[in-house]
Amino acid sequence: MANAGFAAVFRELADYLELKGENPFKIRAYRRAADTLESLSEDAAQLAREGQLKNIQGIGTAIEEKTLEIADSGTLKALEDLRAEYPPGVMDMTKVPGIGPKTASLIFRELGVAGIDQLEEAARSGKLRTLPGMGQKSEENILRAMEKLKEEDMARIPLAIADRLSASLIDFISSHTEVSEIAAAGSVRRRKETCGDVDIVLGIEDSSGIPDLIRSWSGFLGTCFSDEDRVTFTAEGDVEIDVSIVRPEEFPFALLATTGSKLHYAGLKSVARKLGLRLSGDGLFYETGKKQGAISEADIYEALGMEYIPPELREMTGEIDAALERRLPRLLVAGDILGDLHMHTNWSDGRESPESMVEAAKALGYEYIAITDHSKSLKVARGLSETKHMKQLEALGRLRDRFAGIHVLSGIELKILKDGSLDYPDSILSHFDIVVASVHSAFGQPEGVMTGRIVKAIQSGSVDIIAHPTGRVLGRRLGYDVNMDTVIQEAVRHNVALEINAYPERLDLDSTWARKAKEAGACIVINTDAHNVNELRFMSYGLDVARRAWLEQPHVINTWHLSKLQDWLKRRRMRA
DNA sequence: GCCGTTTTCGGCCCGACTGTTTTCAGTCG
């Protein structure tokens, strides 16, 4: 089992122990261990066998033994017992904002309610208010929260998870059989922030062994459907995977069709029709029935008289006309990113020292980074006091002298307080090279209040970047109620950059808002919000969003060289 | 469950907010 698999088991165990009301520190220990295992470069099972795993910070004998048990049996007895005790629907109820583990388990114990639908029924029929500690108001809040959940499809899986599954399956298939070509398609390939399922296209001469091969993959749960040109099945985490099997010469056509989006593909078909051609999943045909060959997708776009359209743009939002007129944007690539302006260290809630973060960023080839630990009021993240922050400034100064080839900006992630005022006065903030501000409390404010609060921070003149502007967390929390059009407008007016937060559970701004922000003339920054050195690699997910948003190099301030970035920061300060 | 040690158990990241109570438990960040 891969390290991510062990991590998933310990996370699930922690979730169940929370339902049971176990010691919170034990629960935290499992979650910390899961994080550690996931970012471990060595094989956890091997280390456990050698008795070395427990030497890692945060992992002791108990977790080493459990890791061995998982490696040997594929599961954990303790977890299986808990799964038998609670139906799966109980955990689902904790997705509803306002319902935590205690309430979910109370509702299950007292009312036998185990699932979102039953929960809604219980709330509507006034049963919830009969429970101790719950009244009419709780019932109304729960119903309102469920309405909001329905607006957004919370069942969709974050891209990072879909990515891991599809990469793992592709690796498995291509290392166990002779394939001509294999690739992820669908929303994974379009790099959509969340995916409904995982699509894979496989080009192969002889497909007879494929269904059996897939059944032997470690992530396989059960088959839904299988014949010679398609296998549909569920994989770990209840994710549906759809493998299309085609002959090698059909591969580019099938890949194009399966990548979609549906609307984009329909648009391509209509372009083909105007040229007297017919485009389908197995080829491009002349009216005479004669087939036009293609060895790649690029050939097909060429045959249709247009530029190659990168998968990220295939959403039918103007890309076809732009490609016909050969005016597609030059999308960002990894090499365009010259720095990362939002990350944490062990001074607040990060795991590693500023030195380690700088070293890792240097290894990524960055020209500069900003260390941005939390300000004092964010106690849960061990926010720094003013005094401590001043000490960190001195430490960063010494660090700057020690590292050649990468510039360390002193920054801060500043909490925007409930009323829109800032956690520190300007007399303190003026000491920092860069100020990243964000909302971390009072998420339930009405739209007008929340918008005014963020706008006030933008207008303060002390803030350079608004981080994760909508506050959403994928699969867990919708964004707060905020008028983003107003925020964008004010950000443009005051020359404050809006962040694309690359953390896989955030991806905030999303691509739709990022594109609107760009079109309004806003500056954008792509940051990882990394809490350890591995998370600096999340930048690629931020790039995906930026590409989907049609962003180009001039729009994104961390593609600028240091001198230009510093000029921008200086000009902002002078105006304030 | 892990850690650190002042070697064998106590501390581990805290505080605001809400809705229910009538002094607090649960949720959230």
CA A136 to C1' B23, in angstroms, rounded, equals: 21
CA atoms of A539 and A367, how far apart (whole Å): 15
Token pair for residue A506?
A: 């955030």
CA atoms of A3 and A22, how far apart (whole Å): 25
Provide the residue-wise pLDDT of chain A in tens; the chain has 576 residues: 778 889 889 999 999 999 888 888 999 999 989 988 887 888 898 889 988 888 888 899 999 999 999 989 888 999 999 999 999 889 889 888 888 899 999 999 888 888 888 888 888 888 888 888 888 888 888 888 888 777 766 667 889 989 999 999 999 999 999 889 999 999 999 999 999 899 999 999 988 889 999 999 988 988 778 888 899 999 987 889 999 999 999 999 999 999 989 999 999 999 999 999 999 998 999 877 778 888 899 999 999 999 999 999 999 999 999 999 999 999 999 999 999 999 999 898 888 899 999 999 999 999 999 999 999 888 878 888 888 889 999 999 999 999 989 999 999 999 999 889 998 988 899 999 999 999 988 888 888 889 999 999 999 999 999 999 999 888 777 788 899 999 999 999 999 999 999 999 899 999 999 999 999 999 999 999 999 898 999 999 999 999 999 999 999 999 999 999 999 999 877 765
Token pair for residue A102?
A: 């205690």
CATH superfamily of this structure's domain A157-246: Beta Polymerase, domain 2 (3.30.460.10)
CB atoms within 10 A of CB A259: 22
CA atoms of A455 and A461, how far apart (whole Å): 11
Token pair for residue A445?
A: 């404010």
CA A102 to C1' B28, in angstroms, rounded, equals: 13
CA atoms of A429 and A421, how far apart (whole Å): 13
CATH superfamily of this structure's domain A3-85: DNA polymerase beta, N-terminal domain-like (1.10.150.110)
Cβ atoms A483, A452 nearer than 8 A: no
Cβ atoms A433, A341 nearer than 8 A: no
DSSP classification of residue A530: B
Q: Same CATH topology for A3-85 and A88-151?
A: yes
CA atoms of A453 and A513, how far apart (whole Å): 19
Four-way CATH pick for A253-324: 3.90.1720.10, 3.30.210.10, 3.30.70.920, 3.40.50.150: 3.30.210.10
CA atoms of A353 and A348, how far apart (whole Å): 10
Residue ranges per structural domain of chain A = 3-85, 88-151, 157-246, 253-324, 334-575
pLDDT digits (tens, 9 = 90+) for A404-451: 899 999 999 999 998 899 989 888 999 999 999 999 888 888 888 899
CB atoms within 10 A of CB A560: 21
pLDDT in the model for residue A199? 96
Please report how many Cα atoms fall inside a 13 Å half-sphere around the Cα of residue A504, on the Cβ side. 17
| Alpha helix (H) residue ranges in A21-134 | 24-38, 44-49, 61-73, 77-85, 88-93, 101-111, 116-124
pLDDT in the model for residue A154? 62
Q: Which residue is nearest to nucleotide B11 (CA to C1')?
A: A25
Local structure of A508: helix, strand or coil = strand
Nearest nucleic acid nucleotide to A445, CA to C1' distance: B17
pLDDT digits (tens, 9 = 90+) for A155-212: 678 899 899 999 999 999 999 998 899 999 999 999 999 998 999 999 999 888 899 9
CA A133 to C1' B23, in angstroms, rounded, equals: 13
**Nearest alpha carbon to residue A295 among A174, A181, A169:** A181
- Helix (H) or strand (E) holding A202, with range, is strand A198-203
**Cis peptide leading into residue A410 (ω within 30°):** no
CATH architecture of A88-151: Orthogonal Bundle (1.10)
On strand B, nucleotides with any atom < 7 Å from a protein CB are 1-4, 11-21, 25-29
Measured distance between the N- and C-terminal CA atoms of chain A, rounded to whole angstroms? 55
- CA geometry: angle A167, A173, A179, nearest 5 deg: 115
**Which residues of A108-187 form beta strands (DSSP E)?**
157-158, 181-184
A291-296, Cβ contacts within 8 angstroms, sequence gap of 24 or more: A293/A249, A294/A252, A294/A253, A295/A252, A296/A252
Nearest nucleic acid nucleotide to A139, CA to C1' distance: B19
Local structure of A215: helix, strand or coil = helix
Four-way CATH pick for A334-575: 3.30.230.10, 3.20.20.140, 1.10.10.10, 3.40.50.300: 3.20.20.140
C-alpha A256: how far from its chain's center? 25
- Helix (H) or strand (E) holding A395, with range, is helix A386-402
CA atoms of A331 and A310, how far apart (whole Å): 9
Q: Which residue is nearest to nucleotide B17 (CA to C1')?
A: A442
**Nearest alpha carbon to residue A371 among A498, A424, A563, A389:** A389
| Alpha helix (H) residue ranges in A180-238 | 186-189, 210-215
CA A193 to C1' B20, in angstroms, rounded, equals: 39
Token pair for residue A51?
A: 């008795």
Cβ atoms A369, A434 nearer than 8 A: no
The amino acid occupying position A101 is P
Nearest nucleic acid nucleotide to A29, CA to C1' distance: B1
CB atoms within 10 A of CB A519: 12
Local structure of A284: helix, strand or coil = strand
Could you give the maximum distance between any two Cα atoms of chain A, in Å? 79
CA A396 to C1' B7, in angstroms, rounded, equals: 38
Token pair for residue A451?
A: 């918008």
**Nearest alpha carbon to residue A520 among A484, A545, A544, A547:** A484
Token pair for residue A432?
A: 């920092």
Nearest nucleic acid nucleotide to A103, CA to C1' distance: B26
CA A109 to C1' B22, in angstroms, rounded, equals: 27
Token pair for residue A376?
A: 């004092």
CA A137 to C1' B20, in angstroms, rounded, equals: 10
A119-122, Cβ contacts within 8 angstroms, sequence gap of 24 or more: A119/A93, A119/A146, A120/A146
Backbone angles phi, psi at A478, to 5 degrees: -75, 165
Pairing type for strands A407-415 and A368-374 reads parallel
The β-bridge partners of A416 are A422
Q: Which residue is nearest to nucleotide B21 (CA to C1')?
A: A133
Nearest nucleic acid nucleotide to A98, CA to C1' distance: B27
Nearest nucleic acid nucleotide to A58, CA to C1' distance: B2
**Nearest alpha carbon to residue A272 among A300, A314, A293, A299:** A300
